Structure 1
Amino acid sequence: MTAPTPVRHDGAPLAVLVCEALPRSGENGPGSYNMTVLRAVAALGYRLHLIVTGLNVAGGVIEPELPCTISYLHARQVGRWLFPLSISAGARWIKNRLGLKVRKGASDKVAWIGRFLSEGEVARVGASLPPVPVDLLLIDTIFRADAVRAIPQAHRRVLIAHDIFHQRCASFRANGFLPRPAVEAGLEAQKTALFDAIIAINPHDAAELAMMAPDARVSTILPVVANAGQTRVRTGEHEREPHRIFYLGSRAYHNVDGLRWFLEHVWPAVRANVPDAHLDVAGGVCGEFSAGNQPGVTLHGRVDDLAALTRHCSFAINPVLMGSGIKIKMVDYFCLGLGCITTANGAAGFPEQPAPPFDVAEGKADFAAAVVGAMQRTDHAAQLRERTVAYTPHFSHEAAVARLRELLTPASSVPSSASVIAAAQP
């Protein structure tokens, strides 16, 4: 375990985030959402210290996006390298060095959605703190909730919920997957009860969390993408290719499953109607598919400049069939100025006003028809793109800071759980 770098107490309050991995914008949904919260915390004047509990940490040091100090439970920093301190972390490091990433096949039905901390890890969390009082303790999902026992002196304890995990598990089971660990509603309620305040990723989750933890303050903070609220209808729309579309995804099970479903059951019908249809795929999900197996599909892998790639695309897709929470890839699409064709699962949790920049289609035939229709009706694809201008302010940094400030104000001026539930009703 890396000892924390001493921090001079300069009067600024200290916020500690206990998280699985170093948060990175655009790396994956959880990392992007943690950055949404961290940027808001920093904007309120807190100094930051991160305690990284994950096993996949060894290798070259990655610079954080915000000024902070960092402790790692399973690695020690030596110069510009992190060396594993546990057998599990060492095994992950060797696997990564050798490139031994096993693809998720259609028959791989066990879906790992998280990892609870061991008692030993909880104890080491307490030893990873800077030698100053903790004013604000932030915990990344219920899987790290027990870390609050290691930091009992924290003035405020806030859960970054990310999701309603027992609902995620139910969604995975309904699609034939075995979620691990299997989170039930009672267990999730026990974990959420450890916190004074909870950050929900959408209003539906806020209402559910308020019922599970009636004594906690609950607030919705929508995910932020770098240029949210600054989206403009691009000049040079002539660069758009009406039959070219985009997909972005990590290696998460719901992404792999959804894209596989699209390529096997939807894409052939699209190509039958639009022979020159082209799909650009970016992100870690590309590692789960073989290049050249699908006509009209280009796997780009991780892309640093998504705008350069998507400026030629007419719209994006999110054929997700399972999961819960809010789909951050769609916020990425909107902030890139792209509308989207998605499923009801993909649309869940998004604000209904102003007019959303996405269409919803369920089932193979309807999804294919929606994609073909948007390719052939260029005016409709353009309308979806235009809607992103008024829609993306929902996901702005300014909105996140305002909601966090409200959450951290004295309890007498913060809405009760009952009002949170009432506000989430249609």
Structure 2
Amino acid sequence: MTVPDLVRHDGAPLAVLVCEALPRSGENGPGSYNMTVLRAVAALGYRLHLIVTGLNVAGERVEPELPCTVSYLHARPVGRWLLPLSLSAAARWLKNRLGLKVRKGAADKVAWIGRFLSEAEVVRIGQSLPPVPVDLLLIDTIFRADALRAIPQARNKVLIAHDVFHQRCASFRANGFMPRPAVEADLEAQRVATFDAIIAINPHDATELAAMAPAAGVRTILPVVANAGRVQLQSGAHEREPHRIFYLGSKAYHNVDGLRWFLEHVWPVVRANVPDAHMDVAGGVCGEFSGDQPGVTLHGRVEDLSVITRHCSFAVNPVLMGSGIKIKMVDYFCLGLGCITTGNGAAGFPEQPPPPFDVAEGKADFAASVVGAMQQPDHAALLRERTIAYTPHFSHEAAVARLRELLVSAVATPAPAPATAAARP
């Protein structure tokens, strides 16, 4: 495996991220959260190198959002293409080229939540490093924790936890799903304890992770969305349609399951009370549904969500399982939309200032909340107004401050000086 030339920035320290996929803002929750961390790392003056371990990488090359170098374990760059290096990557590429997609049916109760690295992949990670010291090693979830063995010389080893996975597994099992791999508390504790520091996605996770790894520094970095802290309510409020709502989701199991539950049990009740009710659905989740639901438009992946959301009154997140924090709700807030969600969806969000969401549990309660917000436009407007004071929690500036605090207090060497304004991403 060839190692790409490393672009040097006046001797700036090197940060390496080992991740499943090339991080992309808005692509999915994990990718968006990795971009939150990467942007903060770059703002603190590090240069970046990414090692992508996932199998679904072959095809046309996608440029990273930040200046960095990239190594792929299962693909080789050739011009503007990534050619598969393994049979598994080739199979994924062929499946995508042929459009062979298998929808997640209601009876499909096996939920794949991650993939541990093989020994061969650990070896290749060591071979894909730039020939300079690694000052900061970032590992994307416990599923890639074995990469620590491939980069033992890294000065500071930080886990981007994303989740408390044994709790996620318990949540999936409680809803009738079989999580794979099945992560138990002892295994997770063993993995997280190998890190110098841990980045948690919400305060609840930070408490749980600190208990599992008492010797590690743990800090919460909330996910960032581009305009967080700068939300402005649109002046043309007349564009809002009181009976029009929005949903955004990837094709992850908890999204598919939650949207299916909503469409089967909640939406018919909403339409019976509000006959012209309409829901716009965006994201990869659209590929898991047929598109024949009355009053529902499936948009697929949308580059500029505001084109749709400026007409919507509020959003929904009918998620029934999972853990961590629901980044789609941060997207809603930063688009100026309030939300109706479940207790699971609300978990992990700050309680002050007053949050821009309502919590509803069960089919009848959720339907009543949606109908009520449609029939009471002033309440939907109140939730939208709350987004202005709430979104600074999810700003880039807040993430940079929390990361600097973590690096100064919890790892072997202090964080470097911040990059100059001109060099900031």
TM-score band, normalised by the shorter chain?
Answer: over 0.9
Measured in 1, the distance between the counterparts of 2:401 and 2:39 equals 12
Aligned positions of 1:69-218 closer than 5 A: 69-218=69-218
| Aligned match of 2:371 | 372
Q: Are 2:267 and 2:367, in contact at CA under 8 Å, matched by a contact in 1?
A: yes
Q: Offset of 1:4 from its aligned partner?
A: 2.6
Q: Are 2:197 and 2:410, in contact at CA under 8 Å, matched by a contact in 1?
A: no
Measured in 1, the distance between the counterparts of 2:277 and 2:240 equals 13
Give the partner amino acid of 2:43: A
Q: Are 2:74 and 2:86, in contact at CA under 8 Å, matched by a contact in 1?
A: yes
Aligned positions of 1:318-329 closer than 5 A: 318-329=317-328
Q: Offset of 1:2 from its aligned partner?
A: 4.6
CA shift digits 1:289-338 (9 cap, x unpaired): 012x2110000000001011100000000000000000000000000000
Give the partner amino acid of 2:331: D
Give the partner amino acid of 1:49: H
Q: 1:405 to 1:366 in 2, by over 3 A?
A: same
| Aligned match of 2:343 | 344
Q: Are 1:61 and 1:81, in contact at CA under 8 Å, matched by a contact in 2?
A: yes
Measured in 2, the distance between the counterparts of 1:241 and 1:200 equals 37
Measured in 2, the distance between the counterparts of 1:265 and 1:252 equals 20
Aligned positions of 1:36-47 closer than 5 A: 36-47=36-47
Q: Offset of 1:5 from its aligned partner?
A: 2.3
Q: Are 1:244 and 1:313, in contact at CA under 8 Å, matched by a contact in 2?
A: yes
Q: Are 2:217 and 2:406, in contact at CA under 8 Å, matched by a contact in 1?
A: yes
Measured in 1, the distance between the counterparts of 2:412 and 2:132 equals 28
Give the partner amino acid of 1:321: L
Aligned positions of 1:289-328 closer than 5 A: 289-291=289-291, 293-328=292-327
SS of the residue corresponding to residue 299 of structure 1 reads strand
CA shift digits 1:262-284 (9 cap, x unpaired): 00000000000000000000000
Measured in 2, the distance between the counterparts of 1:8 and 1:221 equals 28
| Aligned match of 1:25 | 25
SS of the residue corresponding to residue 38 of structure 1 reads helix
SS of the residue corresponding to residue 242 of structure 2 reads strand
Count of aligned pairs: 413
Q: Are 1:7 and 1:131, in contact at CA under 8 Å, matched by a contact in 2?
A: no
CA shift digits 1:39-98 (9 cap, x unpaired): 000000000000000000000000000000000000000000000000000000000000
SS of the residue corresponding to residue 145 of structure 2 reads helix
Measured in 2, the distance between the counterparts of 1:142 and 1:27 equals 21
Structure 1 spans left out of the alignment, 5+ residues: 415-426
Q: Offset of 1:101 from its aligned partner?
A: 1.1
Measured in 2, the distance between the counterparts of 1:23 and 1:147 equals 18
| Aligned match of 2:220 | 220
Q: Are 1:16 and 1:137, in contact at CA under 8 Å, matched by a contact in 2?
A: yes
| Aligned match of 1:331 | 330
Measured in 2, the distance between the counterparts of 1:151 and 1:143 equals 16
Measured in 2, the distance between the counterparts of 1:412 and 1:257 equals 40
Q: Are 1:29 and 1:327, in contact at CA under 8 Å, matched by a contact in 2?
A: yes
| Aligned match of 1:417 | none
| Aligned match of 1:419 | none
SS of the residue corresponding to residue 77 of structure 1 reads strand
Measured in 2, the distance between the counterparts of 1:65 and 1:83 equals 21
Aligned positions of 1:362-401 closer than 5 A: 362-401=361-400
Structure 2 spans left out of the alignment, 5+ residues: 414-425
TM-score (norm 2): 0.96
| Aligned match of 1:64 | 64
Q: 1:369 to 1:413 in 2, by over 3 A?
A: farther
Q: Are 1:2 and 1:75, in contact at CA under 8 Å, matched by a contact in 2?
A: no
Measured in 2, the distance between the counterparts of 1:222 and 1:368 equals 30
Measured in 2, the distance between the counterparts of 1:53 and 1:72 equals 6
Q: Offset of 1:413 from its aligned partner?
A: 12
SS of the residue corresponding to residue 408 of structure 1 reads helix
CA shift digits 1:351-390 (9 cap, x unpaired): 0000000000000000000000000000000000000000
Q: Are 2:21 and 2:57, in contact at CA under 8 Å, matched by a contact in 1?
A: yes
Q: 1:38 to 1:411 in 2, by over 3 A?
A: closer
Measured in 2, the distance between the counterparts of 1:9 and 1:225 equals 27
Q: 1:284 to 1:139 in 2, by over 3 A?
A: same
SS of the residue corresponding to residue 408 of structure 2 reads coil
Shifted more, 232-241 versus 382-391: the winner is: 232-241
Measured in 2, the distance between the counterparts of 1:397 and 1:334 equals 15
CA shift digits 1:149-175 (9 cap, x unpaired): 111111100000000000000000000
Q: Offset of 1:234 from its aligned partner?
A: 1.5
Measured in 2, the distance between the counterparts of 1:410 and 1:207 equals 17
| Aligned match of 1:422 | none
Give the partner amino acid of 1:366: D
Q: Offset of 1:3 from its aligned partner?
A: 2.6
Q: Are 1:2 and 1:73, in contact at CA under 8 Å, matched by a contact in 2?
A: no
Aligned Cα RMSD in Å?
1.2
Give the partner amino acid of 2:25: S
SS of the residue corresponding to residue 11 of structure 1 reads coil
Measured in 2, the distance between the counterparts of 1:5 and 1:89 equals 24
Measured in 1, the distance between the counterparts of 2:324 and 2:340 equals 18
Q: Offset of 1:410 from its aligned partner?
A: 3.9
| Aligned match of 2:408 | 409
| Aligned match of 2:420 | none
Q: 1:411 to 1:257 in 2, by over 3 A?
A: closer
Measured in 2, the distance between the counterparts of 1:108 and 1:41 equals 39
Measured in 2, the distance between the counterparts of 1:337 and 1:215 equals 40
Measured in 2, the distance between the counterparts of 1:374 and 1:51 equals 45
Measured in 1, the distance between the counterparts of 2:305 and 2:237 equals 16
